[in-house]
Structure 1
Amino acid sequence: MRTIDRSLFLLLALVIGISGCASGPSVKLGADELDAIAKASDAYTQAWLANDAELVMGTFVSEPVLSPSGMPFKKGQSAARAFWWPKDGPKTTVTRFDTSKLEVSGSGDLAYVRGAFVLEFTYHGAAYQSHGKFLHLLRRVSGVGWRISHHFWDDLPSD
């Protein structure tokens, strides 16, 4: 099992284990909540298509954790901004970002979206394409709604 796959498995096992140990009955999410979770994940995609850093960061909790493919974790808003929009780096422009949600679920104030993506962008004048899988862990933020707390993605090899 690749390291990223093992890490995702361990993280999901931990989240499920912790939520299973919580006191009180588990709160199953209804269709309206699952739809809101899916829309929160979609907002992330739409923010990238708008090429708007503030919109992208607005889809996250105040201290998000990113797990880029093949790289160490990036923790916090500052680390995410430095990773995606380095001050001394050329501008990246997203030209296509398609996602398909394969699973949307959760319990109480925790949820997840598992899916696949195709991403096309220009960077330093050259066009790039990437496709792979993603996992969003989301947390319900009081007075705000669902926000992404952890964003994992893994590029898949080209066919």
Structure 2
Amino acid sequence: MAFHNNVLSPILLVLFLISSGAKMCESARAFTIINDCKETIWPAVTPGENFNGGGFTLKPKQSIVFTAPVSWSGRIWGRTGCNFDKNGNGSCQTGDSGNSFKCAASGKTPASLAEFTLESPDFYDVSLVDGFNLPVVVTPINGKGGLPCGI
């Protein structure tokens, strides 16, 4: 089900590669973050050690791939309306994280979140607990899952 309204129809898409049976399975997970928006967004990740320090820029239709070790637990969200100087200082209209390009803390509300805990099995969700600023989709690839209690 896709979300559409008159104001926001862009999507921050996080493709999450769960590699079943491959050697990569026990040591890392690949994340492809895609900007399916019509404007530039500034994705943020906390903790961001494996994600370009926690902040980066994605132009429309641009994507980037990162890997995170099994045991990583964190949040990914999109920031909008950002303006940063050459030193990485600045702010965003939504999802701002401490007035810095590189994020060390969760973003200010509103910020739609993709949350992950990498274990065996891995857990993820999209959360609006911190509000809504962009549609977010998480698509696992090569994974398997099910509903709790077989529901």
Give the structure with the larger helix fraction.
1
- Normalised TM-score (structure 2): 0.27
Give the structure with the larger strand fraction.
1
Which protein shows a greater Rg? 1
- Normalised TM-score (structure 1): 0.26
